[in-house]
Structure 1
Amino acid sequence: MPLVHSEMIEESSTLLLWKLTETETELRGNLGNAYNPEELSAVSHPQKLREWLASRLLIKIIAERFGINYIGTYKDEHGKAFLIDNDSHISITHTFDFVAVAINPPAAVGIDMEKMDAKLQRTSKKYLSQPEFEHAGDEMALLCMYWCAKEALYKLYGKKKISFRDSIYIEPFDKDAVSLKGRLTDTETVVEANITVRWFDHHCLAIAL
């Protein structure tokens, strides 16, 4: 797994991005027994299995950088991942080509990565409010940034049944922006976040803190 990018985000969160090149056998060998068998048993698709193994291997690597004894992850009732026996916050994202992990010891973090694709244009009215839709138009880079920013904020919050269109708002930005502002509203809860954006080989990566 060649390291593509490593960065400290806002002095507390660390991001690692790897290119996914290994076979399932190689990933299993490198990961060893440092995983939750219950989680692994729920994954059957070959590509999804590679992505899952790669993401856990990357969590292991980033945890060791922080002196954490990594023994696996578990998911809560909303599907949000946590470290077993450690309170540091993590977030995971993977695509066909990349896997990325962010760790933020003091507070929640959300991360997402998406490749620019025409489906973002076809479905934009489902995840953008009217002002966001008018701002983005059919500009692929803006649509990809909106989606990743909203997904990252959604994963930071960590609860299901949140409407991307109606409950998550991203302030207007241009396609060269590297820092966005987002707000998630859920009943009486409001979560505001700074969202850092990076681009890698036509993939947008967003980290919400």
Structure 2
Amino acid sequence: MPLVHSEKIEDSSTLLLWKLTETEAELQDALGNGFNQEELDKISHPQKKREWLASRMLIKTLAEQFGINYVGIHKDEHGKAFLIDNDSHISITHTAEFVAVAINPTAAVGIDMEKTDAKLQRTSKKYLSPPEFDHAQDEMDRLCMYWCAKEALYKLYGKKKISFRDAIFISPFENADVILRGNLTDEDLVVPSNIHVRWFDGHCLAVAL
């Protein structure tokens, strides 16, 4: 997997983005025992298997850069991923073409990547509040930025049953902006976030800190 992008964000988190080129067999060989076979067996689609394995390969690579002995990851009851035997926070995202991972040694981090697609227009009223919907104006790049920013903040928080439309809000922005402001609300709790946005070959990538 050739490295496409590497970046330190806010002096606290590291982002790695790779292009997915390996076969499923090549990824399994490279990982050895560093993945959960039972979890992999639950994935039926061959492309999704590749993406899943590639994300574990990237986590292993990133962990080793930090001097972490990578022995795999586990997920909590909400599906949030954690390194085994290490307290660093990680977040994973993958598409058919790219795999990205962010790591933060001391605080939660969330990452998402999405390719611009007409489905974002068809479903926008489900994930945008009315003011956000008016601001987006059905414009593809803006919808993609909204979706990725909300998904990244959702993954940073790490708990299920949070409504993208009613509980995660992104402040108005320009398409050229590289930092968005977001807030997630869960009853009396408010989680503010800086969300860093990057673009790669028609894909929006967002990292929430």
TM-score with structure 1 setting the length: 0.98
**2:127 is aligned with what amino acid?**
Y
**Shift of residue 36 of structure 1?**
2.3
SS of 1:108 mapped into structure 2: coil
* Alpha-carbon displacement from aligned partner over 1:41-77 (angstroms, at most 9, x marks no partner): 3222211110011000000000000000000011111
The match for 1:63 is 63
Q: Distance in 1 between matches of 2:12 and 2:60?
A: 18
* Alpha-carbon displacement from aligned partner over 1:75-94 (angstroms, at most 9, x marks no partner): 11111101011100000000
**Does 1:102 pair with 2:102?**
yes
SS of 2:60 mapped into structure 1: helix
The match for 1:208 is 208
The match for 1:177 is 177
Q: Distance in 1 between matches of 2:160 and 2:101?
A: 21
* Alpha-carbon displacement from aligned partner over 1:100-149 (angstroms, at most 9, x marks no partner): 00000100000000000011011111000000000001111100000000
The match for 2:40 is 40
Q: Distance in 2 between matches of 1:122 and 1:45?
A: 24
**Shift of residue 38 of structure 1?**
3.0
Q: Distance in 2 between matches of 1:9 and 1:29?
A: 31
Q: Distance in 1 between matches of 2:144 and 2:185?
A: 21
The match for 1:84 is 84
Q: Check the 8 A contact 1:195/1:206 in 2, yes or no.
A: yes
The match for 2:3 is 3
Considering only aligned residues, what root-mean-square deviation do their CA atoms show, in Å?
0.7
Q: Distance in 2 between matches of 1:158 and 1:57?
A: 22
Which ranges in structure 2 are unaligned for 5 or more consecutive residues? Answer: none
SS of 2:144 mapped into structure 1: helix
* Alpha-carbon displacement from aligned partner over 1:147-199 (angstroms, at most 9, x marks no partner): 00000000000000000000000000000000000000001111000000000
SS of 1:8 mapped into structure 2: strand
Q: Distance in 2 between matches of 1:98 and 1:11?
A: 24
Aligned residues with identical type, % of pairs: 78
Q: Distance in 1 between matches of 2:24 and 2:16?
A: 20
Number of corresponding residues: 209
Q: Check the 8 A contact 1:39/1:74 in 2, yes or no.
A: no
Q: Distance in 2 between matches of 1:7 and 1:39?
A: 30
**2:178 is aligned with what amino acid?**
V
SS of 1:5 mapped into structure 2: strand
Deviates more, 1:37-46 or 1:199-208: 37-46
Moved over 4 A (4+): none
TM-score with structure 2 setting the length: 0.98
